[in-house]
């Protein structure tokens, strides 16, 4: 770790510590809200999907002709970060190349339709939540195509592919060992992996929910501060934007859609932790998800 990075970490950690000391009530409220969100919505929604999709993949139950589309389907149904997990599993298993993995990651790692339709629809009752869902999917596909075109033009080679595949190969062998001797052991190991991942995701949600509450409390109730605070955690962000008085409902809907397409920094860090384990680029993912958010905002402004 470089000296610059170490200093940056120290500044960030001490800043968070000062926040905790200066506004303990706000921080507790934000953390509690994040915990309740994780317990009431994220845990019961994602755990079954994490478990079932991983078992299907490791048991080779998905037909080969649909195998490369499997991450897109799981991400479309279950939402963040299921698409990223499935992509990484397939990349490590050698099913996807680096370029294919990044392409599917950008296109498949989106908010779930349940969140996009039910949650945004209940808060933004005057807008069309189905339009938000549609534009989020379309914008992620367009961003993925932009990535793929940029790769074709640059003709870059990725040196970490062999390292990533080798690192994963050991994991696949371990899973096959459990499966060969006892399905129950394999099932329990897969369950434990899913639970560990969900605990990490829950911690990210609580941290970024706390930061979002602090920023909202610190700054005036203006659109810029609400967008900044909302960018930390998507659920709180949609809620904040729904309470702000807009002159145009179209702008409100477009901002919500852009936030849903981008996913927020909480979703990014959840995804980045998964990508670190398989060697796919978190920076590239963040860049193209930002592009996806801009495309989504534009589509919602022009589609009636």
Q: What is the pLDDT of residues 35-85, one digit of tens each?
A: 998 888 788 877 888 888 888 877 878 788 788 888 888 888 877 888 898
Cα(225)–Cα(214) distance, integer angstroms: 11
Which one-letter DSSP state was computed for residue 93? Answer: T
pLDDT tier, 8 (very low <50, low <70, confident <90, very high otherwise):
low
Q: What is the pLDDT of residues 197-253, one digit of tens each?
A: 889 888 988 988 888 888 888 776 778 888 888 898 888 888 888 888 887 888 888
Tokens of 101: 């993995």
Per the structure, the count of domains in the chain is 1
**CA-wise closest residue to 92 among 271, 279, 272:** 279
Q: What is the pLDDT of residues 108-153, one digit of tens each?
A: 998 888 778 877 777 666 567 888 889 999 999 999 999 999 988 8
Cα(267)–Cα(263) distance, integer angstroms: 6
Cα(78)–Cα(50) distance, integer angstroms: 9
Cα(37)–Cα(29) distance, integer angstroms: 12
Which residues constitute the domain of residue 228?
22-302
pLDDT at residue 28 tops 60: yes
**What per-residue confidence (pLDDT) applies to 91?**
92
**CA-wise closest residue to 27 among 180, 295, 262, 210:** 210
Cα(195)–Cα(55) distance, integer angstroms: 14
Cβ atoms of residues 158 and 144 within 8 Å:
no
Identify the residue whose tokens are 């900044």.
228
**Domain assignment of residue 145, yes or no:** yes
pLDDT at residue 160 tops 50: no
pLDDT at residue 166 tops 70: no
The 3-state DSSP composition of the chain as helix, strand, coil percent (nearest 5) reads 85, 0, 15
Q: How many CB atoms lie within 10 A of CB 217?
A: 14
Return the beta strands (E) in 101-183 as ranges: none
Q: What is the pLDDT of residues 96-106, one digit of tens each?
A: 999 999 999 99
pLDDT tier, 168 (very low <50, low <70, confident <90, very high otherwise):
very low
**Domain assignment of residue 5, yes or no:** no
- Name the CA dihedral angle for 66, 72, 77, 82, rounded to a multiple of 10 degrees: 110
**Domain assignment of residue 4, yes or no:** no
Which one-letter DSSP state was computed for residue 200? Answer: H
Chain Cα centroid distance, residue 122: 22
**Domain assignment of residue 15, yes or no:** no
Residues contacting residue 146 through CB under 8 Å, at least 6 positions apart: 288, 291
**Domain assignment of residue 97, yes or no:** yes
pLDDT tier, 2 (very low <50, low <70, confident <90, very high otherwise):
low
Taking the model in full, what pTM does it have?
A: 0.80
């Amino acid at each position: 770790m470089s000296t610059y990075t170490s200093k940056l970490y120290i500044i960030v950690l001490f800043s968070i510590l000062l926040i905790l000391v200066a506004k303990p009530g706000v921080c507790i409220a934000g953390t509690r809200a994040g915990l309740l969100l994780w317990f009431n919505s994220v845990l019961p929604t994602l755990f079954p999907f994490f478990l079932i999709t991983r078992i299907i993949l490791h048991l080779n139950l998905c037909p080969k002709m649909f195998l490369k589309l499997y991450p897109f389907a799981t991400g479309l149904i279950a939402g963040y970060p299921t698409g990223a997990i499935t992509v990484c599993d397939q990349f490590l298993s050698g099913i996807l190349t680096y370029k294919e993995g990044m392409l599917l990651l950008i296109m498949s790692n989106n908010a779930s339709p349940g969140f996009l339709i039910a949650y945004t629809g209940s808060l933004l009752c005057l807008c069309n939540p189905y339009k938000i869902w549609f534009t989020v999917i379309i914008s992620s596909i367009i961003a993925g195509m932009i990535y793929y075109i940029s790769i074709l033009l640059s003709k870059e080679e990725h040196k970490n592919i062999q390292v990533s595949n080798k690192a994963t190969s050991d994991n696949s062998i371990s899973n096959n060992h459990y499966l060969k001797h006892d399905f129950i052991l394999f099932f329990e190991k897969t369950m434990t992996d899913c639970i560990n991942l969900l605990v990490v995701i829950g911690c990210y949600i609580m941290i970024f929910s706390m930061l979002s509450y602090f920023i909202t409390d610190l700054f005036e109730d203006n659109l810029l501060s609400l967008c900044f605070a909302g960018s930390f955690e998507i659920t709180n962000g949609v809620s904040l934007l729904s309470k702000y008085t807009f002159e145009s409902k179209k702008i409100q809907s477009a901002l919500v859609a852009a936030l849903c397409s981008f996913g927020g920094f909480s979703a990014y860090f959840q995804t980045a932790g998964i990508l670190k384990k398989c060697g796919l680029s978190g920076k590239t993912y963040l860049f193209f998800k930002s592009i996806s958010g801009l495309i989504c905002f534009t589509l919602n402004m022009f589609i009636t």
